[in-house]
Structure 1
């Protein structure tokens, strides 16, 4: 099978039929063998009924329905697990991503040797203040933090080799950083393609300003996980040892000062009246706690079980 098209959605009933027809048209024009996988992330409108009707009309159309809303990352994870195509395309269901871009993305994977190709919505039709400016700031921070030079990390239109999606773990809210996850997993051939962005035709966006706050928090998380996710003791142990060393030196200084004054018969004060006593005590306690945090992190990492992150109520 050439293509698997994975489409997560939440309350997009109005756009599904039109999007499906558009995809089928593009697939027929290019003689692709394909499957379309809709993942209904807990919609409360008639989205699942629309998916059932589309699946009944077209055997290449499949669906996954979550029991409730779990988030886009979990929806993509379920879609990736089900996908059988040599190349996997992800896109949003709101008609802002154009299916006409699929052949170009597919060719970049199959003929140019990329592992992953990310879309770049160079010209956007979103609000400048609520989306465009925060998105530019977010993408700049992502480039600086990850070292991956992409202009649009958050574009939902992406193409992957099958082996890529089968070897990355998309959880939490990490769908924004799939290129970074792929890079960390050893897939370094990552490209970018300018894609057409369209104004929303139906409904309203499901994302508010809070997604950018969450995005920056997730960026810190993925930075930490990419460097210390497999070895938390390297960070917490080093910090703990450094703090403990400061405390130990402070304690030795207090002891040396006490002995020096006693030796020269000078008036001494109680150790607890010396501010260095509290510096030594505080830093040694913090150092011990950090060291224990790293130790516990190593234990958890080695004993954790893979928890079920979402529940599927129906599949087609």
Structure 2
């Protein structure tokens, strides 16, 4: 099969017939063999009923329904697991992504060697309250992930080589950072394509302001797990040693200062009466705790069932 189109959806009953018909036209025009995987993330409207009706009309449609709302990341992860196509395309169900972009996305994966192609909605039809935070998150993600050629990590329209989606796990709010997950898994040919963005035709957006806080926390999680997941002692141990040494140096300074004052016969304060003493004490205790945290995390990591689970590209 050439293409699997994975579409997570939540309360999108109005847009589904139009979207699936649009995808079908594009696929037939290009003679692609394809499937459309519609993942209903616990919709409260008639979305699943519409999916069942569309399945009767088009056997290329695959429907998956959650019992409750789990989130976009869960829907994508299940869709990735079910995908059979050599190239996997993801898009939102609200008709803001254009299926007309599919042939170009497919070509860049199948014929030009890209592992992942992320869409860039260069001209957006979203309110400033959505676009401004998105720009800030994209800037932070570029800096922390070292993927500098992407402008929009969270664009729903993306294309993947099959190996990519089969070797990453999307959970929490991690769908925003799939290019980062792909990079940590060893897929480095990550490209960008300018795509058309349409105004929402039906309904309202399903994402609230809380997603920005969750997204930021997930970014920190990705950064830590990707960089130190298999060697936590390098992170906690380094911080612990630096903190401990800082406290130790301050303590040595206070002792030296007191000894010099005694030798010179000048007045001096007790070490425990000086603010620096408490700073050194906190630094030493914090350093010890961080070091022990790293040690315990290292023990857990070494006993993890996937401690030696590495991405292998080929084996001959």
Instruction: Using structure 2 for the length normalisation, give the TM-score.
Output: 0.89
The corresponding residue for 1:223 is 223
The corresponding residue for 2:129 is 130
The corresponding residue for 1:235 is 235
Q: State the Cα distance separating 1:136 from its structure 2 match.
A: 2.4
The corresponding residue for 1:7 is 7
Q: Secondary structure at the match of 2:239?
A: helix
Q: State the Cα distance separating 1:68 from its structure 2 match.
A: 1.4
Shifted more, 197-206 versus 274-283: the winner is 274-283
Aligned residues: 305
Q: Following the alignment from structure 2 to structure 1, what is the Cα–Cα distance between the partners of residues 282 and 134?
A: 41
Q: State the Cα distance separating 1:303 from its structure 2 match.
A: 4.3
Q: State the Cα distance separating 1:274 from its structure 2 match.
A: 3.8
Q: Following the alignment from structure 1 to structure 2, what is the Cα–Cα distance between the partners of residues 105 and 118?
A: 9
Shifted more, 37-46 versus 50-59: the winner is 50-59
Does residue 180 (structure 1) correspond to residue 177 (structure 2)? The answer is: no
Q: State the Cα distance separating 1:198 from its structure 2 match.
A: 1.0
Instruction: Say if 1:132 and 1:260 are closer, same or farther in 2 by CA, change over 3 A.
Output: closer
CA RMSD of aligned residues (A): 2.1
Q: Following the alignment from structure 1 to structure 2, what is the Cα–Cα distance between the partners of residues 197 and 145?
A: 27
1:148-187 correspondence runs (5 A):
148=147, 149-187=149-187
Q: What does the per-residue CA deviation read over 1:145-171, in whole Å, with 9 as the maximum and x for residues that have no partner?
A: 222111211110000000011111212
Instruction: Say if 1:33 and 1:283 are closer, same or farther in 2 by CA, change over 3 A.
Output: same
Instruction: Say if 1:189 and 1:294 are closer, same or farther in 2 by CA, change over 3 A.
Output: same
Q: Secondary structure at the match of 1:207?
A: coil
Higher RCO (CA-CA < 8 Å; seq separation 6+): 1
Query: Where does the alignment leave 5 or more consecutive residues of structure 1 unmatched?
Result: 307-316
Instruction: Say if 1:242 and 1:33 are closer, same or farther in 2 by CA, change over 3 A.
Output: same
Q: What does the per-residue CA deviation read over 1:97-123, in whole Å, with 9 as the maximum and x for residues that have no partner?
A: 111111111011111111111111112
The corresponding residue for 2:212 is 212
Query: Where does the alignment leave 5 or more consecutive residues of structure 2 unmatched?
Result: 307-316
Q: Following the alignment from structure 1 to structure 2, what is the Cα–Cα distance between the partners of residues 95 and 277?
A: 63
Does residue 251 (structure 1) correspond to residue 230 (structure 2)? The answer is: no
Q: Secondary structure at the match of 1:43?
A: coil
Q: Secondary structure at the match of 1:192?
A: strand
Q: Following the alignment from structure 1 to structure 2, what is the Cα–Cα distance between the partners of residues 142 and 280?
A: 35
Instruction: Using structure 1 for the length normalisation, give the TM-score.
Output: 0.89
Q: Following the alignment from structure 2 to structure 1, what is the Cα–Cα distance between the partners of residues 242 and 120?
A: 44
The corresponding residue for 2:107 is 107
Q: Following the alignment from structure 1 to structure 2, what is the Cα–Cα distance between the partners of residues 241 and 54?
A: 61
The corresponding residue for 1:142 is 141
The corresponding residue for 2:119 is 119
Q: What does the per-residue CA deviation read over 1:203-262, in whole Å, with 9 as the maximum and x for residues that have no partner?
A: 000113332333333333322233222222111111101111122233334444555566
Q: Secondary structure at the match of 2:15?
A: helix
The corresponding residue for 1:192 is 192
Shifted more, 297-306 versus 218-227: the winner is 297-306
Instruction: Say if 1:265 and 1:212 are closer, same or farther in 2 by CA, change over 3 A.
Output: closer
